Copies of this chain bind each other. A is one copy, B any other.
Amino acid sequence: MKPFADRLVDAIHSKNSRAVVGLDPRLDSLPDEFQRGIKKNVEAAAQAVLEWGGEIIATVAPHAAAIKPQIAFYEMLGPFGLVTYYALCKHARKKGLLVIGDVKRGDVPDTAKAYATAHLESFDCDAITINPYLGSDSVAPFVEMAKKQDAGLFVLVKTSNPGSGDFQDLKTADGRPLYEVVAQRVGEWGRELAGRSGYSSVGAVVGATHPEQAAALRKLLPQAFFLVPGYGAQGATAADVKLCFNADKLGAVVNASRSVIFAHEKNRSVDWKKAVEEAVVKMKTDINAALST
């Protein structure tokens, strides 16, 4: 298998899309046809999410480079939810989507190795997000497993939430904010995992809600793929995310969740699947258009 970064570049080219669809099953937002009984028990909810997720995958597969299931929404449903998560990850890969497990794991080295095995082998994601707070030795087992499995990592550098500044923006003694110190390490961790495309399979999560910081990080990490959350419902536009890309129109993929998968909530004039399809096509097109101006 090719390294993850190269597979991502291939997917972007073959689908002409830099869009990632967040598969985050918020029960309240599922279309009416999936609502029966899901508040009463988690088995019914997990089954509904499985069926809904299959439809989303079929709908977005031609238009998205990857899907990014947020595991928190599956864990909410207990062990049944994890069965659904497992099945949807497998299903998406079969349907030609790369799967980025949004798990944000991070732990001491031995435990990090267990997490890496869990998510890059057992749950078999193409890539996962990880949290760097525990330091280099906590990231190393993920890098090692990514190398072994031709998988990818997106390390949290600068997240999209308003409170991300509390620690990530803290100025360190040498004048750099913490997120830049982390970014520098991301570059180091990624050196071993450079693909033929010139991009590394160790990428970074960089929120589109902070455009200036994204632009600075883009310069600091030319070889890293950015996974860019915050598009759509969180307020970032195609113009904002443009700063996350390199001149080759690569180096970033942009995630939207609610604004795509629950597009029917704002667009009730069409069938829910049609609303989803229109939303993902518009997202893909808007980003491509912004990159061409």
Which A positions have Cβ atoms within 8 angstroms of B? 24, 42, 70, 72-73, 75-79, 81-83, 85-86, 104-109, 111-112, 114-115, 117-119, 122-123, 131-138, 156, 159-168, 170-173, 175, 178, 181-182, 185, 229
> Is A134 touching B117 in the complex (CB atoms < 8 A)?
no
Copies in the complex: 2
Q: Which residue on B lies nearest to A258, using beta carbons?
A: B110
Which of A82, A106, A159, A164 has the largest number of chain B CB atoms within 10 A?
Answer: A82
Q: Which residue on B lies nearest to A173, using beta carbons?
A: B171
Distance of A238 from chain B, by nearest CB (Å) = 21
> Is A75 touching B173 in the complex (CB atoms < 8 A)?
no
Q: Which of B81, B118, B163, B229 contacts A72 (CB 8 A)?
A: B118
Q: Which residue on B lies nearest to A159, using beta carbons?
A: B134
Q: Which applies to chain A's interface (DSSP): helix, strand, loop or mixed?
A: helix
> Is B173 touching A161 in the complex (CB atoms < 8 A)?
no
Sample (26) of A-B pairs whose CB atoms are under 8 Å apart: A24-B111, A70-B111, A72-B114, A73-B114, A75-B114, A76-B114, A76-B122, A78-B86, A78-B123, A79-B82, A79-B85, A82-B82, A104-B105, A106-B131, A108-B229, A131-B133, A132-B167, A133-B133, A133-B159, A133-B167, A134-B168, A135-B167, A138-B159, A170-B172, A171-B172, A171-B173
> Is A182 touching B159 in the complex (CB atoms < 8 A)?
no
- Measured CA separation A117–B73 after assembly (Å): 9
Distance of A68 from chain B, by nearest CB (Å) = 12
- Measured CA separation A135–B167 after assembly (Å): 6
List 20 extra interface pairs beyond A81-B122, A135-B166, CB under 8 A. A75-B115, A75-B118, A75-B119, A77-B122, A79-B79, A79-B86, A104-B131, A133-B156, A134-B161, A134-B164, A135-B165, A135-B168, A136-B166, A137-B162, A137-B163, A167-B178, A170-B173, A170-B181, A173-B175, A178-B178
